Structure 1
Amino acid sequence: MSNFWVNLYKFPRFLISVLIGFFLTTFQPVFKLLKKKKDKLVFITITTVMIVLCYRIIQTMTDNL
């Protein structure tokens, strides 16, 4: 039974390391993309359009016009 508690105490550290690994592998191509000035402009434009689009969709869904 003590082995169960040892494993349970290790779980938060495991969860944090998995989340950090997920974000590093997900955003590594984005960081490589941001090194070029032309690609940086395209990325910022697409990101801005996506954020505004999501904002407008949520605003319309909640009738906060």
Structure 2
Amino acid sequence: MHTFWDNIWKFPKFIISVFIGFFLTAVYPIFELSKNKQINYLIMIILLLVIITLYLILKLMLGYG
């Protein structure tokens, strides 16, 4: 039974490390592209548009619009 509870306590750490690994793997190419100044501006504009779009979608879905 002790092994069971050890595994239960290790599970959240595992999930967090999987999410961090996925995030770093997905974002690493963007950091590589951001070394170029022109592409950096393009990435910032796209990121801003994504944030604004998500904000508007959530605002309309939750009925605040």
Residue identity (%): 42
Gaps of 5+ in 2: none
Equivalent positions of 1:26-37 (< 5 A) are: 26-37=26-37
Matched residues, number: 64
Residue 9 of structure 1 aligns to a residue whose secondary structure is helix
Structure 1 length-normalised TM: 0.75
CA RMSD, Structure 1 to Structure 2 (Å): 1.8
Extract structure 1 runs of 4+ deviating beyond 4 A.
none
Structure 1 stretches lacking a partner, 5+ long = none
Of structures 1 and 2, the one with the larger relative CO (CA 8 A, separation 6+) is 2
